[in-house]
A and B are shown apart, each in its own frame.
Chain A
Amino acid sequence: MYRILAREDLTPNIHLFKVEAPLVAKKARPGQFVVVRSDEKGERIPLTIADWDKEEENVTIVFMEVGTTTRKLALLNAGDSIPDFVGPLGRPTEIEKFGTVVCVAGGFAIATIVPIARAMKEAGNKVVSIMGFRTKDLVFWEERLGSVSDELIVTTDDGSYKRKGLVTEPLKELLQETKVDRVIAIGPTVMMKFCSLTTKPFGIKTMVSLNPIMVDGTGMCGCCRVSVGGETKFACVDGPDFDGHEVDWDLLMNRLRAYLDEEQESLKLWEERNKALIS
């Protein structure tokens, strides 16, 4: 069992857990993930490692409530335990001195990009970060990402905070105005797709962190397979980072929709059974 040491609600439905996991903390690198199981009847879901502390022996995860498992997790508090917390999985993000690196994050992926931006900065890069949210109420970690970036741009889709619009707009301007050596884009699939489409005409290498459905997360099933440059890859062992210009986005989005009906059925049943807890 893995004890939750601290919980923080970043927005009403985005939560942060600091989880006691000494061995995972010892090995974690930016860009890696863990597979979590909420309870005995639960499924295994992948969550990105948002931070870690070797000395304090804990690993931070950030998740958004979207379905049964994340709703179940959201009921847990400091002192509770998670039965399974497997990791660190996947290959770490490639960190080098590239020059100018633009880190783009959407929604709760802000948490994922912070350790990457930090590592890029420590490696001697100039880091420009762009963080995008739907609306003002969902904004979090502005200061935290700002502290590891040379420049920070915040957007909201509805213009309720800072710049109005999508992350692709400031990204395009940056590419037009300055010399960018690498782009890292992490967030919803559609956002990563459009970031990749934005950078492609400029020929700037753009790494994305893919989020296909996973089961074991160790390369034994191929559920998370994606097509990259025409080749089938397993995101859990070959990724999750891939070159965004090579990814077959439509295939990924189709595969992500495979269980929509079941996901809704499962959530409905859970909500009915847990009326008392969630009201």
Chain B
Amino acid sequence: MTEKKKINLNRVPIPKQEPLIRRRNFNEVALGYTEEQAMEEASRCIQCKKTGCKVGCPVDVDIPEFIKAIQDGDMPEAVRILKSKNSLPGICGRVCPQETQCEMTCNLAKKGAPIAIGRLERYVADWEKAHPEVIERQKERVRFNGKRIAVVGSGPAGLTCAADLAKLGYEVTILEALHVAGGVLMYGIPEFRLPKDIVQGEVDYVKSLGVEIRFDHVIGKIATVDEILEDGYNAVFLAPGAGAPMFLNIPGENFSNIYSANEFLTRTNLMKAYLFPEYDTPIKVGRKVAVFGGGNVAMDSSRCALRLGAEEVYIIYRRSRVEMPARAEERENAEEEGIIFQLLTNPKRFIGDEQGRVKAVECYEMELGEPDESGRRRPIPKPGTEFIIDIDTAIVALGTRPNPIIPSTTKGLELTRWGTIKTDEATGRTSKEKVWCGGDMATGAATVISAMGAGKRAAADIDAYLQGKS
């Protein structure tokens, strides 16, 4: 009888910057596994036959296989396995909500802590970055199959779709409205969660596959989708995201120093306003900041405000902690850094000074009623509970909706009642011939990995369609 190896039910913790230090810098919070830590965590994987983990991954990464390669100490092989399915592992390892995906369905999760798949994925991606000779091997281009594809937007959906199609031999051109590639990975998610050199490293990988990126191309303005098709592209994949911000629609919302989270994060992350005046774009953060919302974007905004020098930062959220859509890990990070959670609170109006700058917000308390159609308990205002919080900056992080520029300039594109482009979920096909769509423009604001999954499915379907297989 062979001796049964005892499985360690606890995962190896990831080293992090101390809260008191990191709350004033933009360096990455989670420092990543060392080689020893990665080997130890990988050794917990039991290589089960019934792989739960794979079921939870939207881009079908061969998880036990890449972990096996780590166990064997064959890092180039781990890189190869990961990259054959996921072109952006350094990003996914950092920002995927693994707790609701691969790690949720890991068989170990039934008894203890699931394998830290995201951290291992990140470890492999970072190892590859430190060993550029591995990339060299992958530079062999696939032969051009004579067909050209235009991808609109260089966020996670666009990059994934472009990479997959390039690997199949298509000539792919990405048309990007901003001056850098990466979409929300560059303008939205802050440096301390996702370093920008990691993103640009992955963008460079996609370019190394032969993908061309054209910047400053606002599709709908500089050219329409129909003009792209007339230009000889065989297919168009629309992945412009859901970039238009929603506001609270309460009195005083246009006072100075009230930002949408999109503006606040774009100034901070994309334009590097945290390095002002070294960089030219300014940002205004006073002593007291209120952030409205309970999602990841609210967490990111509050933590950026703190790092920009605010003394007190409030998250104002109308439900309670359990209904918060933000990832548990990011909520904990925010709490450790000293963000103040003002729960069951809703704003009524902003109050300004004589120069039109915000100086306070009047709020009222909420209580939770019966669950609504989203399954979350509905917040109900409690009359007569109004109170005032003095603030000098406000950031509205209520979510985003699709930007109308493309839908309003493209004929024959059917929309949903939420303004998203009607898209077949399995294939990404739209109502318009030769046009596919994926990511937030199809689903409304969602996750990086779901956008990547959509990019992958669309690439497969575009290929099948152009090969005449479907």
Interface residues of A (CB under 8 A from B): 23-24, 27, 37-38, 41-44, 68-69, 83-89, 215-216, 218-223, 225-227, 232, 237, 250-251, 254-255, 257-259, 262-263, 265-266, 269
State whether A221 touches B223 (Cβ < 8 A): no
Task: List chain A residues, Cβ under 8 A from B405.
Answer: 218-219, 237
User: What CA separation (Å) do A86 and B222 show in the bound complex?
Assistant: 9
Task: List chain B residues, Cβ under 8 A from A265.
Answer: 277
State whether A69 touches B280 (Cβ < 8 A): yes
Q: A258-B256, A266-B277 are in contact. Are A221 and B284 (CB under 8 A)?
A: no
Q: A43-B280, A85-B216, A262-B282 are in contact. Are A218 and B256 (CB under 8 A)?
A: no
Query: Is B465 positioned at the interface, with any CB of A under 8 Å from its CB?
Result: no
Contacts A85-B216, A237-B404, A250-B356 aside, 5 further interface pairs with beta carbons under 8 A come to A41-B280, A216-B266, A219-B403, A222-B263, A254-B355
Task: List chain A residues, Cβ under 8 A from B179.
Answer: 37, 44, 83-84, 86
Q: What's the tally of chain B residues with a CB closer than 8 Å to chain A? A: 42
Q: Report B236-293 residues with CB < 8 Å from chain A CB.
A: 243-245, 247, 253-257, 259-260, 262-263, 266-267, 271-272, 276-282, 284
State whether A258 touches B284 (Cβ < 8 A): yes
State whether B266 touches A221 (Cβ < 8 A): yes
User: What CA separation (Å) do A44 and B280 show in the bound complex?
Assistant: 9
State whether B221 touches A42 (Cβ < 8 A): no
Q: Report B161-205 residues with CB < 8 Å from chain A CB.
A: 177-179
6 residue pairs from A and B, CB less than 8 Å apart = A86-B177, A218-B403, A221-B266, A222-B245, A222-B263, A257-B256
The distance from the CB of A23 to the nearest CB of chain B, in whole angstroms, is: 5
User: What CA separation (Å) do A258 and B394 show in the bound complex?
Assistant: 14
Q: Report B116-147 residues with CB < 8 Å from chain A CB.
A: none
User: What CA separation (Å) do A99 and B282 show in the bound complex?
Assistant: 45
Task: List chain B residues, Cβ under 8 A from A37.
Answer: 179
Q: Nearest CB to that of A237 among chain B residues? A: B405
State whether B260 touches A222 (Cβ < 8 A): yes
A to B contact number (C-beta, < 8 Å): 119
State whether A42 touches B280 (Cβ < 8 A): yes
Query: Is B341 positioned at the interface, with any CB of A under 8 Å from its CB?
Result: no
User: What CA separation (Å) do A42 and B277 show in the bound complex?
Assistant: 10
Task: List chain A residues, Cβ under 8 A from B380.
Answer: none
The distance from the CB of B316 to the nearest CB of chain A, in whole angstroms, is: 19
User: What CA separation (Å) do A84 and B260 show in the bound complex?
Assistant: 24
State whether A218 touches B177 (Cβ < 8 A): yes
Task: List chain A residues, Cβ under 8 A from B404.
Answer: 219, 237
**Which of B216, B256, B260: most chain A CB closer than 10 A?**
B216
State whether A220 touches B243 (Cβ < 8 A): yes
State whether B260 touches A221 (Cβ < 8 A): yes
User: What CA separation (Å) do A251 and B252 show in the bound complex?
Assistant: 10
State whether B254 touches A255 (Cβ < 8 A): yes
Task: List chain A residues, Cβ under 8 A from B271.
Answer: 43-44, 215
The distance from the CB of B84 to the nearest CB of chain A, in whole angstroms, is: 34
**Which of B218, B243, B245: most chain A CB closer than 10 A?**
B218
User: What CA separation (Å) do A164 and B222 show in the bound complex?
Assistant: 43
Q: A219-B405, A237-B405 are in contact. Are A89 and B277 (CB under 8 A)?
A: no
> Of B244, B253, B279, which one neighbours A41 at CB under 8 angstroms?
B279
Task: List chain A residues, Cβ under 8 A from B26.
Answer: none
Query: Is B233 positioned at the interface, with any CB of A under 8 Å from its CB?
Result: no
8 nearest A-B pairs in the assembled complex, by CB-CB distance = A254-B356, A262-B282, A221-B263, A220-B243, A43-B281, A43-B280, A258-B256, A86-B216
Q: A232-B247, A266-B276, A266-B280 are in contact. Are A215 and B267 (CB under 8 A)?
A: yes
Q: Report B195-239 residues with CB < 8 Å from chain A CB.
A: 215-218, 221-223
Task: List chain A residues, Cβ under 8 A from B280.
Answer: 38, 41-43, 68-69, 266
The distance from the CB of A226 to the nearest CB of chain B, in whole angstroms, is: 8
State whether B262 touches A255 (Cβ < 8 A): no
Task: List chain A residues, Cβ under 8 A from B279.
Answer: 41-43
The distance from the CB of A122 to the nearest CB of chain B, in whole angstroms, is: 23
Task: List chain B residues, Cβ under 8 A from A221.
Answer: 245, 260, 262-263, 266
State whether B218 touches A227 (Cβ < 8 A): no
State whether A251 touches B216 (Cβ < 8 A): no
State whether B222 touches A87 (Cβ < 8 A): yes
Task: List chain B residues, Cβ under 8 A from A266.
Answer: 276-277, 280, 282
Query: Interface code B54-93, partner A: CB below 8 Å = 1, 0 otherwise?
Result: 0000000000000000000000000000000000000000
The distance from the CB of B280 to the nearest CB of chain A, in whole angstroms, is: 4
State whether A23 touches B223 (Cβ < 8 A): yes
State whether B276 touches A262 (Cβ < 8 A): yes
User: What CA separation (Å) do A265 and B177 show in the bound complex?
Assistant: 30
> Of A43, A237, A250, A262, which one neighbours B284 at CB under 8 angstroms?
A262
Q: Nearest CB to that of A40 among chain B residues? A: B279
Task: List chain B residues, Cβ under 8 A from A226.
Answer: 254
State whether B266 touches A215 (Cβ < 8 A): yes
State whether B262 touches A84 (Cβ < 8 A): no
User: What CA separation (Å) do A89 and B221 show in the bound complex?
Assistant: 7
User: What CA separation (Å) do A27 and B274 show in the bound complex?
Assistant: 36
> Of B245, B257, B278, which one neighbours A220 at CB under 8 angstroms?
B245
State whether A251 touches B254 (Cβ < 8 A): yes
User: What CA separation (Å) do A218 and B245 show in the bound complex?
Assistant: 12
State whether A86 touches B218 (Cβ < 8 A): yes
Task: List chain B residues, Cβ under 8 A from A251.
Answer: 254, 356
Q: A232-B253, A258-B256 are in contact. Are A84 and B221 (CB under 8 A)?
A: no
The distance from the CB of B462 to the nearest CB of chain A, in whole angstroms, is: 25
Task: List chain A residues, Cβ under 8 A from B216.
Answer: 84-86
Q: Nearest CB to that of A258 among chain B residues? A: B256
State whether A220 touches B218 (Cβ < 8 A): no
Task: List chain B residues, Cβ under 8 A from A258.
Answer: 256-257, 284, 357
> Of A216, A223, A269, which one neighbours B277 at CB under 8 angstroms?
A269
The distance from the CB of B157 to the nearest CB of chain A, in whole angstroms, is: 16
Q: Nearest CB to that of B279 among chain A residues? A: A41
User: What CA separation (Å) do A250 and B282 show in the bound complex?
Assistant: 22
**Which of A38, A226, A266: most chain B CB closer than 10 A?**
A266
The distance from the CB of A49 to the nearest CB of chain B, in whole angstroms, is: 12
Task: List chain B residues, Cβ under 8 A from A216.
Answer: 177-178, 266
Task: List chain A residues, Cβ under 8 A from B277.
Answer: 262, 265-266, 269
**Which of A68, A69, A86, A221: most chain B CB closer than 10 A?**
A221
Task: List chain A residues, Cβ under 8 A from B177.
Answer: 86, 216, 218
The distance from the CB of B401 to the nearest CB of chain A, in whole angstroms, is: 11
User: What CA separation (Å) do A85 and B266 show in the bound complex?
Assistant: 18
User: What CA separation (Å) do A269 and B278 show in the bound complex?
Assistant: 9
The distance from the CB of A222 to the nearest CB of chain B, in whole angstroms, is: 5
User: What CA separation (Å) do A232 and B350 show in the bound complex?
Assistant: 15
Q: A263-B282, A265-B277, A266-B277 are in contact. Are A218 and B254 (CB under 8 A)?
A: no
